Amino acid sequence: MRSILRLALLLATLLTPGALFAQGLAGQRPNIVFILTDDQGYGDISAHGNPILKTPNMDRLHAEGVRFTDFHVSPTCSPTRSALHTGRHEFKNGVTHTILERERMTLDAITLPQVLKTAGYTTGIFGKWHLGDEDDHQPEKRGYDEVFIHGAGGIGQHYPGSCGDAPGNTYFSPLIKHNGKFEKTNGYCTDVFFAQATQWIDRVKGQQPFYAYIPTNAPHGPLQVRDEDLARYQDKVDDLNTAKYFGMIANIDDNIGKLLAKISAWGIERNTLVVFMNDNGGTGGVRVFNAGMRGQKGTPFLGGTRASSFWRWPGSLQPADVTKLAAHIDFFPTIAALAGAKLNAQATQQIEGRSLVSLLENPSAPWPTRTLFTHTGRWAKDASPETGKYVNCSVRTPEYHLVSISKENRPDWMLFDLRQDYAEQKDLAAQKPEVVAAMRAAYEAWWQSAVPLMVNETAPLLGENPFWTLYKKQFGNLPAMAETSAKKKRSPKK
């Protein structure tokens, strides 16, 4: 009788959610859905304290998942995306800007979807790529089986060189490049991207594990929003653009809810990891709420780099806060470990980040101290990187943040003790010269390691945007408005 009771207790233990931790999460091969929003800030979520914006489905991911509360990305979008795909700092991927050929991720890099394919995954991207619009840089050449994207850094954008979207596109019924050919869509862009991702998941689920990457174009400007979404906030804020921005986020939130419902209805919820992040600091919502932080997108302060990072996997991850310092470079090694992917020597050497698996299993697990580096890049085209070395950069340890926002390219370092001053209001550089010296030395060494890998700095601008070239090939010629725009050679800006 006792042996039967012991067996029953053992079986009960093995069937509990925590039993998977005993086996280890690594190699469990879950389906993976990765949602990355564009220009939404850490403060643009009601679970983080936003007093106006309501995001019930993002809040659900927050409540039901592991939350990394000190997670950091780049101050702008292409750099973050390259680090997520490679596990190393964006500058070492050649990505030092968002346009002018400097948004192109080096072809020498091994990407996360390429690694996942070696582990038996099928991979799809639905939304914004922004790591090179030339054919050899496109996602189908970087490990994605299913590709459904717009061009450039946003729908309708066009800049000198190769960075550009299909002509005449807006957020409503945009022309989308689907596996090498343009398709006219019907509906609002965010709805379209989630619907396409949902259809693809429905088609591939159960055949092999999948990686569905959904990088939305919203809420990046221009602030083109559905009337019904604008109406949600038009009377709640005193600024029309903020109302538009909040409405775009609310629409994303609705789509997340629909996708979560589908995952549940398909019966794959307990074998599907959903990760939610934003790609840089806040923009349109910081005037309302910025979670007490200094700075926003485009700055090296915490408000420019802190991001949401929610990991929901029912039955495998227990909801908890992780306070350890983590970053975009940790995403690749974490996902690869969960997928059971074997990294070759090149990938192992490339990755600078750490697997977060131990923290997903146990938020209190040992986590050695680390140093992270931030730089906004964006020095002048064809200029030496040295001209921007100390402009908008920072060094981060778990305790301190060393920041320089010099406009004269001088190392005007400010030091903040984040244990006492997460708002970065009290500069302690004069009081703690030994801390400044150590962190500055780390920065100098990192800079020297990064400069040789900045491979796009003198790249010539391509004569024509490849998306326009494809448009002419598929449809015969460009719309009249596009021809006029091309002749103007507009000044590059983001």
Tell me whether residue 383 is in a domain: yes
My answer on whether 150 and 278 are in the same domain is yes
**What pLDDT digit, counting tens, does each position of 343-370 carry?**
999 999 999 999 999 999 999 999 999 9
Cα dihedral 222/225/231/237 (nearest 10): -20
pLDDT digit string (tens) for 29-67? 999 999 999 999 999 999 999 999 999 999 999 999 999
SS3 at position 312: strand
Tell me what pLDDT residue 405 has: 96
**What share of the chain in percent tops pLDDT 70?**
92
- Give the strand pairing for 71-72 and 326-327: parallel
Alpha-carbon gap, residue 9 to 16, rounded angstroms: 11
Residue 352 falls within a domain, yes or no?
yes
What is the per-residue pLDDT for 479? Answer: 84
pLDDT at 74: 98
Residue 223 included in any domain: yes
Residue 248: CATH number of its domain: 3.40.720.10
Query: Residue 430 domain-assigned?
Result: yes
* Single residue among 330, 361, 392 that ends a domain in this structure: 361
Tell me how far apart the alpha carbons of residues 409 and 27 are, in angstroms, rounded to a whole number.
Answer: 46
| pLDDT on residue 263 | 98
Each residue's pLDDT tens digit, 190-238:
999 999 999 999 999 999 999 999 999 999 999 999 999 999 999 999 9
Give the pLDDT of residue 494: 43
Q: How many domains does the chain have?
A: 2
The DSSP code sequence of 391-414 is SSEEEE-SSEEEEE--SSS---EE
Give the whole-angstrom CA distance, residue 185 versus residue 4: 61
My answer on whether 393 and 330 are in the same domain is no
Give domain status of residue 6, yes or no. no
Residue 215 is inside which H or E element, if any? strand 210-215
pLDDT-derived band at 8, boundaries 50, 70, 90: very low
Residues 319 and 412 in one domain: no
- Residue 379 domain boundaries: 372-453
- Residue 157: C-alpha distances to residues 113, 160, 169, 170, 343 (Å): 26, 11, 8, 9, 36
Decide if pLDDT at 22 tops 60. no
Supply the pLDDT for residue 19.
36
Using DSSP, state whether 65 is helix, strand or coil.
Answer: coil
Residue at 367 is within a domain: no
| Residue scoring higher pLDDT (369 or 4) | 369
Residues of the chain with pLDDT > 90, as a percent, come to 91
Tell me, what CATH number does 413's domain have?
Answer: 3.30.1120.10
Nearest to 190 by CA among 155, 139, 159: 155
Helix (H) or strand (E) run with residue 192 in it: helix 189-204
Strand order, beta sheet including 210-215: 181-184, 175-178, 146-150, 122-128, 210-215, 31-37, 272-278, 309-312, 66-68, 320-322
pTM for the complete prediction? 0.94
Least confident of 110-114, 239-243, 486-490: 486-490
Which helix (H) or strand (E) element contains residue 273? strand 272-278
Is 9 domain-assigned?
no
Question: In the predicted model, what is the mean pLDDT of the chain?
Answer: 94
DSSP 435-457: HHHHHHHHHHHHHHHHGGG-TTT
Domain assignment present for residue 208? The answer is yes
Segment 422-444 mean pLDDT: 98
Q: At what angle do helices 56-64 and 240-265 cross, to 10 degrees?
A: 50
Residue 20 has pLDDT above 80, yes or no: no
